[in-house]
Chain A
Amino acid sequence: MRMQSGGFDATARQLIVGLPLFMGAIEYIWRVALKQPGRDDFFPISLVASSVSLNLAMTVLPGELRRGAYSRWFSERRIAEAFLVANLGIFASLIGMLLWIYLLVASFSEEVRAILPMHPLRDALVYYVFSIAVNEWKAWVEKC
């Protein structure tokens, strides 16, 4: 069976997993070209935004479950897991939106940054790895 991740096929999956490298390289070239210091102003915000979109995709139930084709979904546990992943996608998206708004505002406001000290790059990467893990989980729930 072809490995799928949240409905994406293998090629798209590689692109999604490699997104931070791609975005980081773009920002690095951009910063070097403009001689700008600091790596926390653009990249983490974009990474969180893309991770939110990844989590939004998790909210869609697997096709067989939506169509009512329960042949592989006979187990109640599988159905419960599919719904759990979908719910997790909703809440992870909401948390991601909060993180995104905070990082966005904190990037230009010193006062907001003082309220809650954070490490934008680290937090964005943790959120991204979490999103990939949920993605993999959904792939397993769909596959089995």
Chain B
Amino acid sequence: MLNFVLGFFREYWPVVLAYAIARFVVPPVVGWIYRKTAGDEPRVEVGRGSGNVQTQIAAKPGEMPK
């Protein structure tokens, strides 16, 4: 049984590695790049419906406007 399980990791280690990259490396790296590039752009929100215009600027880059 143990050989069977270990055999999977022995033969498919690139798959396990790709999964680990996709699960643990890609999300933070993409998020970091996105925050870095989206960086200083002020985020402006315009309220709709009543003609009442609200303008909000996010406190930090990459954060949702409050």
Contact = CB atoms under 8 A, between A and B. Distances in A.
Contact of A125 (B8, B15, B48): B15
Interface residues of B, number: 30
B18 A144 contact: no
What range describes how many residues of A lie at the interface? 20 to 34
Q: Interface of chain B, helix or strand or loop or mixed? A: helix
A124 to B, nearest CB: 9
B45 A140 contact: no
B14 A125 contact: yes
A122 B46 CA distance: 47
Interface string B1-35: 00010011001101110110111001101110010
Residue from A69, A71, A121, A128 whose CB has the most chain B CB atoms within 10 Å:
A71
Contacts of B11: 28, 39
A144 B42 CA distance: 11
Interface of A: 1, 17-18, 20-21, 24-25, 28, 32, 39, 43, 69-72, 74-75, 77, 121-122, 125, 128-129, 132-133, 136-137, 140-141, 143-144
Q: Which 9 A-B pairs have the closest CB atoms?
A: A125-B18, A136-B30, A132-B22, A140-B34, A24-B15, A24-B12, A20-B15, A28-B8, A74-B44
